[in-house]
Amino acid sequence: MVNKNTQNFPGIVLAAMAALLATGCDQRKPDGYQGYVEGDFVYMSTPYAGKMTNLHVRRGQQVASHGLLFAVDATEETYAMQHAHAQYESADASLKDLKKGRRPAEINAIRAQLAQAQASAKRSDQQLARDEELFKASIISQAQIDSSRAARAADQAKVEEIRSQLDTAALPARQDQIQSQEAQVQGMRASYGQWQYRVQQKSVTASAQATVVDIFYREGEWVQSNAPVMKLLPVDNVKIKFFVPENDLQKVRAGQSLRLSCDGCQAGLAAVVDYIAPDSEYTPPMIYSNESRSKLVYLIEARPDKATARALRVGQPVEVLL
């Protein structure tokens, strides 16, 4: 009589071995960690309100660093800037004029006046000399000789006055006048710079290479001050987030190179570990024990290179390989 249990023994062994293999496969450590792509968006705006006049980009477009994004009407600010610039140039020209002496034509006119005064003074000297001889001879009175002496003194004083004017004409303006004009020039320059800044702020450029994610205003619409006009994702703001179990945390370090893979992605995608969270996450709601350590995970952030960042999309799942 054949024992049925003995007859089925090989089947039982095979089933047990398959179960063990299946258990071993389930407990095999995965080759990578699941993560996803995240981005730090930048919202572009202008501090001054105005009508949207030019939209230089479209949604989904790649823009270069310092590339034009949009422009808001700056007609009023442009006129104010031109007016301030004209005032600044006028004040600066006055300052330069104060630092110089009189013009050559003016100096020549003063020199001519000096020559006339000197000629008059010479005639007064000659007249006084004749009158003194006549006074000694008692031909003229005391009043006449006093009048000649007064005329001579007046002509000499006139010569000294015009000579002082000539010396002054060759000098620049007084220091306090120059300082006052310099202060006006600085004020005009600041006003011009202020309006120039406002004009520049109404034409917005990208601060770095980025992708235009969304646009909130169109040409012809009124843009409020500081209102987001468009949403950008700079290529340097793309990052990979994934979680590592507590047991594998020692395998990860800052600056470590990682390999990435995702559905439909080309091979060779890479990233570098940029941040390791100091605290665990998803801690189970139970008393900490050795058995619960495997449930602790730590957030890791990695920065892909520019080529990889351009190939990824925010929210896209990726597998991270150490």
Same domain (yes/no): 242, 317: yes
Domain assignment present for 126: yes
Structural domains counted in the chain: 3
91 and 190 co-located in one domain: yes
Q: Which residues contact 298 (CB under 8 A, 6 or more apart)?
A: 243, 244, 246, 249, 276, 277, 279, 280, 281
Residue 210 lies in a domain: yes
The answer to whether the CB of 182 falls within 8 A of the CB of 95 is yes
**Which residues share a beta bridge with 300?**
242, 276
On whether the CB atoms of residues 15 and 9 are closer than 8 A, the answer is no
* pLDDT given for residue 56 in this prediction: 96
> 90 and 242 in contact (C-beta within 8 Å)?
no
**For residue 121, what are its two tokens?**
């003074």
Residue 82 lies in a domain: no
Q: Where residue 268 sits, what CATH number does that domain have?
A: 2.40.30.170
Shared domain for 185 and 159, answered yes or no, is yes
Q: Does the residue 26 lie in any domain?
A: no
Residue 291's pLDDT is 53
Q: HSE (CB half, 13 Å, CA atoms) of 225?
A: 5
**Please, what sign has the CA dihedral across residues 65, 68, 72, 77?**
positive
- Same domain flag for 171 and 269: no
Point out the domain boundary residue: 194, 210, 245. 194
Residues 221 and 273 in one domain: no
3-class state of residue 145 by DSSP? helix
Under 8 Å between Cβ of 229 and 215: yes
Q: Is residue 5 part of a domain?
A: no
Single out the residue of 202, 242, 238 nearest to residue 34, CA to CA: 242
Residues 54 and 108 in one domain: no
What's the CATH code of the domain at 207?
Answer: 2.40.50.100
| 1 is a domain residue | no
Say which CATH number the domain at 162 has.
1.10.287.470
Taking alpha carbons only, the member of 124, 144, 125 closest to residue 134 is 144
Under a CB-based contact definition with an 8 Å cutoff, are residues 184 and 91 in contact?
A: yes
Q: Name the domain boundary from 144, 163, 194.
A: 194
Alpha-helical segments (H) within the chain: 4-7, 9-26, 75-98, 104-136, 142-169, 175-201, 306-311
Are 188 and 130 in the same domain?
Answer: yes
User: Are residues 267 and 184 both part of a single domain?
Assistant: no
Domain for residue 10, yes or no? no
* Residues 208, 68 within the same domain: yes
DSSP letters spanning 49-87:
-EEEEEE---TT-EE-TT-EEEEE--HHHHHHHHHHHHH
| Local confidence pLDDT in tens for the 322 residues of the chain | 334 444 443 443 333 333 443 444 444 345 588 899 999 999 999 999 999 999 999 999 999 999 999 999 999 999 999 999 999 999 988 888 777 756 677 677 777 887 888 888 888 888 888 878 887 878 788 888 888 888 888 888 888 887 777 776 666 656 777 788 889 889 999 999 999 999 999 999 999 999 999 999 999 999 999 999 999 999 999 999 998 888 888 889 999 999 998 888 888 899 999 999 988 876 544 444 455 455 788 899 999 988 888 888 999 999 998 8
- Kindly state whether residues 181 and 317 are assigned to the same domain: no
Residue 17 domain flag: no
Domain range for 219:
42-74+202-233
Contact assessment for residue 264 and residue 216, using Cβ atoms and an 8 Å cutoff: no
Q: Which of 267, 270, 272, 280 is nearest to 252 (CA)?
A: 272
Q: Are residues 243 and 299 in the same domain?
A: yes
For residues 136 and 98, give the distance between their C-alpha atoms in angstroms, rounded to a whole number: 55
Same domain? For 309 and 213 the reply is no
Task: Give CA–CA dist 154/141, Å, rounded.
Answer: 21
